[in-house]
Amino acid sequence: MSAETTPPATPYGTLARAAVPSARKPVSLPRLRELHAAGEKITMLTAYDATFAAVADAAGVECILVGDSLGMVCQGLTSTVGVTLETMRHHTECVANGLRRSHGVAWLIGDLPFGSYHESKEQALRSAVVLMQAGAHMVKLEGGGWTADVVRFLVERGIPVCAHLGLTPQTVHALGGYRVQGKTDEGAARLKREAHELQDAGAALLVLEMVPAALSAGLTQTLTHCPTIGIGAGSATAGQVLVLHDMLGMNLGKMPRFVHNFMQDAGSVRGAIEAYVQAVKAVRFPVDAVHAW
Ligand code: KIV
């Protein structure tokens, strides 16, 4: 980097990685489909602020999810149920600012919080518009069944949607805790049906959280145009996602079994995230035996 392109030092860290834009192309939906078609794993990580988003992007993460998990890791709540749309808008904007200032290329997903898409399709559209105008490229919502109509409504209006099945934290009280889903024949059949309904409705990505590896492997094969992104769902999914604070070892409680602390062997946050990207791409993470549910 020449003196001309070196960003000036600032007392609070700098996001201006270089004056020249990155040579990497912005991640887009066609690019994600291309990766999937080529059999290359898609990497996703949560981020809630400008600096971590810029670092994750620089480390090569393709999709950054401003997850409502921020309720737990940033706000100190005991579940994601209390997270509001305004909070999600604020953090989505912070992340979008970070990516813009650092010439980031990541695909930015904003999580629709509990209660922001449940009343009607119109309410879902209004909420999705708030996150898209804050800088998201796609919104994520949880659950199957009635959500397929919501997904269709948003997709028809030009809003890409990531669906989320399995353990859906916004319904933790109805599920009776943070438990593996789809273990029974009936549960697995419902999950399969709902996944296909969401694909048919136009969902472009599907997060599968805490479901048996064999079930998510089967779904990954049969969902021909909706790549699956797993978290605690085995190694056969089209991609993986983790909560940033968990994979950096910043979890003072009992770490979920499916998480690996990438900070342990890394000298920096960026190094830890690069190790995560490399491990997912090489199918070294996750290790199926660790979470044979
Ligand atoms: O909110 C979140 O961070 C999520 C991921 C765990 C997938 O939904």
The model's pLDDT over 187-212, given as tens digits with 9 standing for 90+, comes to 999 999 999 999 999 999 999 999 99
Q: Which tens digits make up the pLDDT trace of 125-154?
A: 999 999 999 999 999 999 999 999 999 999
| Residue 240, helix vs strand vs coil | strand
Catalytic residue among 93, 194, 197, 209: 209
For residue 68, the ligand 1 atom closest to its alpha carbon is 1
Ligand 1, atom 6, lies closest to the CA of 243
CA distance 205 to 68: 17
The residue-averaged pLDDT of 229-236 equals 97
CA distance 181 to 177: 11
Q: Is 0.85 surpassed by the pTM of this model?
A: yes
| Residue 166, helix vs strand vs coil | strand
CA distance 99 to 49: 10
Q: What are the structure tokens assigned to 57, written together?
A: 């992007």
Of 241, 244, 253, the C-alpha closest to 210 is 241
Ligand 1, atom 8, lies closest to the CA of 67
Give pLDDT, residue 2. Answer: 47
Give pLDDT, residue 289. Answer: 66
- DSSP summary character for residue 288: G
**Ligand 1: residues within 6 Å at CB?**
46, 65, 67-69, 111, 164, 207, 209, 231, 241, 243
